[in-house]
Amino acid sequence: MLEELLIFTRGGLILWSSCRALAGGAALLKGSPIDALIRSCLLEERSGDAGFTKDAYALKWTFNNDLGLVFVAVYQRMLHLLYVDDLLAAVRRDFSQIYNPKRVSYDDLFTETFRQLHLEAEARAEAMKKSRQQPANPSSGGAARGPAGKKLGPNGRPGGGAGGKKNSGSGKDDSDGGDSGKEQNGGFTANGGSVAKGGQENGAVKDTSRAARAVVVDNDGKENGDPNDGAFDVNTLRRKTGGKKGGGGGGGKKNDVKKPAKTEPKKVVKQMRVWDDKPPKNEKLDFTDPADERGEEVIEKVLTNQGDSMMDKDEDLSSDSEDEEEEEEENAGAGQKKKGWFSSMFKSIAGNNVLEKSDLQPALKALKDRLMTKNVAEEIAEKLCESVAASLEGKKLGSFTRISSTVQTAMEEALLRILTPRRSIDILRDVQAAKERGKPYVVVFVGVNGVGKSTNLAKVAYWLLQHNLSVMMAACDTFRSGAVEQLRTHARRLQIPIFEKGYEKDPAVVAKEAIQEATRNKSDVVLVDTAGRMQDNEPLMRALSKLINLNKPDLVLFVGEALVGNDAVDQLNKFNQKLADLSTVPTARLIDGILLTKFDTIDDKVGAALSMVYISGSPVMFVGCGQSYTDLKKLNVKSIVKTLLK
């Protein structure tokens, strides 16, 4: 049953609703699925998807881009209505004919038309359903049939011709018998798992050509190879392992002789390299700042040399040299474009101005390839191009306008909408609000191994210190050796307190005690460092979910590398999925923001930022671009879009 069909403009004006027109009033759907569709799909450039689900509802939609209309159908997801696409196309066709931009209500003008279209679509779907069921009736004679409805011969071949005759036993017939055995596995076996006679006879023939490679189906329907293929050879295994387990061969004796020769290697101590003939000096190679003797002096020197953080500077990520190179390329390409200028102008005036999908495909394919060269994940580039095609299809192309420039402009607008945060996350404002409530502002850093969580946590701490906020670190990476010492070094250099409990402790409990300690000491911010974990590591993901659910942090930051491509989609998908699945509360806490590291190593391959934002819906809040505490920036959205489309 169709729950609702809604027609509205891209500006949000509802023109017609089936609930309002047919039921006499606006019946509210549970959970507002249409609002969720607009927020999560249409505004996020996912309009090229086949459908959208929200709670118990499934939604499908279509556009009239020329008139700026959106048609949405809502129905119960468990019903699988077959006529929805047909109905949407008919409604779009008939409503577009009567649409008037000056009119705001069509209840009295379109209701009867919709009733008729609905009945016709249901009748067509029912007739199609019956026509599909007719070929499934078994024919007379009781002959066995395969899944495709073809009659099976006595040896399992489709049909009853010469191919179904019994083989005479010659080598050629044996080879053909091997083919028949393969065809049985392709879906021509009767009763879904037993082997036809011809298949068994041919499978039993030992042939060195094709019959030896024929696949045999056992009684359970599983495919097995020739039983002689890959047979277990004890002698071969003993030769490979050298007779370690009691094999009396020569290999075992050789290994027995070699075993005592293996001695534990001596510990190699790192020595300083000598570059000339001078005698080596026994100098200390550990340059870590000592905490007892020279700690205070070195820390003061480090802090005075750091300067202001780049977070408070509005800098463009693209340099002036890049702009100059782009201008030179445009000037160089102007002479080449002059040759076809008149023909393209004439085509834009005299040709068909209504954009069709076939017209957009060449430009979209070139744009997809360009995005993928910028390190955008293939899945994301494909979805973006589908969304742009859905927004342009049926739209009238103005005179003196090229299709490639129209597609480029549409893609630029789409990228700006995606990378611009849907909600403003102002950490400094939120810290002040938490301070007024008498609670510390808690930030948890999560991510995979080796992306730079601890280093960029220290950069964020340095930025907060410049805004006169008291910061405390929590060493909750109790898994990796050296993690606590690394964070302790950062805390000593920044002169901020650190809460630690050592290794092999429950990180959720350590974080809870750190927050309690920060509350007693009236610290403004608590930065929680966690262990790096792969997205498929179930125990570590469970521990992370416990830490987040127990402590309820104000901000969960995913730290990811700018170097990754397709793996960014898998990482964020799995992190959000695991946090949702392992959550013990009804409303699971997911990733709130992204910290992108190693941004200074990628040149113009900035696609990871787009992939991460698109797949998670969370904004990029910080960009790490160096090795010092000041190397932390904001993401310049316009510069990223310009680089992606260049």
Higher pLDDT, 585 or 224: 585
Residues 505 and 386 in one domain: no
Indicate left, alpha or beta for 381 from its phi (over 0: left) and psi (-120 to 50: alpha). Answer: alpha
Residue 46: per-residue pLDDT: 74
Q: What is the domain extent for residue 30?
A: 2-124
Shared domain check, 431 and 415: no
Determine which of 123-132, 227-236, 410-419 has the lowest per-residue pLDDT on average.
227-236
What lies within 8 Å, CB to CB, of 365 at 6+ separation is 385
Cα 217 to Cα 185, 186, 231, 531, distances in angstroms = 7, 11, 18, 48
| pLDDT the model gives residue 444 | 95
Instruction: For residue 519, name the pLDDT band (cuts at 50, 70, 90).
Output: very high
Residue 442 maps to which CATH number? 3.40.50.300
Q: Which of 484, 348, 455 is nearest to 406 (CA)?
A: 348
Answer yes or no: do 462 and 570 share one domain.
yes
Is the model more confident about 240 or about 194? 240
Asked if residue 292 has pLDDT above 80, the reply is no
Q: Are 472 and 568 contained in the same domain?
A: yes
- CA-nearest of 445, 426, 444 to 434 is 426
Q: What is the DSSP letter of 576?
A: H
Last residue of a domain, one of 66, 96, 124: 124
Mean pLDDT of the region 337-357? 54
In this prediction, residues 612-638 reach a mean pLDDT of 89
| 415 and 487 assigned to the same domain | no
Q: What is the pLDDT of residue 262?
A: 57
pLDDT of res. 170: 42
Alpha carbons within 13 A on the beta-carbon side of 24 = 0
pLDDT of residue 254: 45
pLDDT value of residue 455? 93
At 209 the pLDDT is: 42
What mean pLDDT is reported for the chain? 74
- The more confidently predicted of residues 134 and 193 is 134
Percent of the chain with pLDDT over 90: 22
Asked if residue 557 belongs to a domain, the reply is yes
The yes-or-no verdict on residue 337 having pLDDT over 70 is no
Q: Which residue has the higher pLDDT, 443 or 218?
A: 443
Within a domain: 364: yes
Position 264 scores a pLDDT of 62
Q: What average pLDDT does the segment 123-141 reach?
A: 70
Two structure tokens written together for 399: 């005179």
Instruction: Map residue 2 onto helix, strand or coil.
Output: strand
Tell me whether residue 526 is in a domain.
yes
How many domains does the structure of the chain reveal?
3
Predicted pLDDT of residue 23: 63
* Residues forming beta bridges with residue 622, ordered by sequence position: 595
Taking phi first (over 0 means left), then psi (-120 to 50 degrees means alpha), and beta for anything else, what does residue 600 get? alpha
Residues 436 and 404 in one domain: no
Q: Check residue 256 and give its pLDDT.
A: 46
Cα distance between residue 72 and residue 84, in whole Å: 10
pLDDT above 60 (res 155)? no
Q: What integer pLDDT is reported at residue 245 of this predicted model?
A: 44
pLDDT of 190: 38
Position 501 in a domain: yes
Phi/psi of residue 13, nearest 5 degrees: -85, 120
Q: Are residues 399 and 526 in the same domain?
A: no
> pLDDT digit string (tens) for 215-229?
444 444 444 444 444
Tell me how far apart the alpha carbons of residues 418 and 40 are, in angstroms, rounded to a whole number. Answer: 11
Note the pLDDT of residue 24. 53
pTM of the shown model: 0.60
**One domain, residues 465 and 550:** yes
Contacts 24+ apart (CB under 8 A), 158-161: 158/183, 158/188
Q: Where residue 404 falls among pLDDT bands split at 50, 70, 90?
A: confident
Cα 27 from Cα 4, distance rounded (Å): 9
From CA 362, how far away is CA 383, in angstroms rounded?
16
- Supply the pLDDT for residue 235: 67
Say how many residues make up the chain: 646
CA 171: distance to chain centroid? 53
The answer to the question of residue 306 being in a domain is no
Q: Does the structure show a pLDDT above 60 at 79?
A: yes
**Residue 209 in 3-state DSSP?**
coil
* Residue 433 pLDDT level (bands cut at 50, 70, 90): very high
pLDDT reported for residue 154: 46
Same domain, yes or no, for 460 and 571? yes
CA distance 253 to 249: 7
Same domain, 433 and 392: no
As a whole number of angstroms, the distance between CA 82 and CA 352 comes to: 33
Task: Indicate the pLDDT class of residue 429, thresholds 50, 70 and 90.
Answer: very high
161 domain-assigned: no
Where is average pLDDT lowest: 81-90, 276-285, 344-353? 344-353
pLDDT at 440: 95
- Is pLDDT of 316 > 80? no
Q: What pLDDT is attached to residue 2?
A: 85
What pLDDT does 56 receive?
Answer: 84
| Final residue in a domain of this structure, among 124, 155, 170 | 124
What pLDDT shows up at residue 42? 80
Average pLDDT over residues 239-245: 55
User: What number is the average pLDDT over the span 89-110?
Assistant: 88
Query: Quick check: is 61 in a domain?
Result: yes
Instruction: Answer yes or no: is pLDDT of 147 > 50.
Output: no
% of the chain beyond a pLDDT of 70: 65
pLDDT band at 512 (very low <50, low <70, confident <90, very high): very high
Residue 555: predicted pLDDT? 93
Residue keyed to tokens 């030769």:
239
Q: What is the structure's pLDDT at 108?
A: 82
Predicted local confidence at residue 217, as pLDDT: 43
The pLDDT assigned to 525 comes to 95
In which band, very low, low, confident or very high, does the pLDDT at 282 lie, cut at 50, 70 and 90? Answer: low
Q: What is the CATH number of the domain that holds 37?
A: 3.30.450.60
- Sign, Cα dihedral of 28, 615, 573, 382: positive
Task: Specify if 347 maps to a domain.
Answer: no
Residues 410 and 456 occupy one common structural domain: no
- Do 441 and 368 fall within a single domain? no
Considering 95, 124, 153, which residue would you say is the last residue of a domain? 124
- pLDDT band at residue 311 using 50, 70 and 90 as cut-offs: confident
- Return the residue matching tokens 């992108």: 596
Q: What is the mean pLDDT of residues 5-15?
A: 88
The pLDDT value recorded for residue 186 is: 41
Tens of pLDDT, residues 256-267: 444 555 566 666
* Least confident piece of the model among 130-134, 247-251, 277-281, 554-558: 247-251
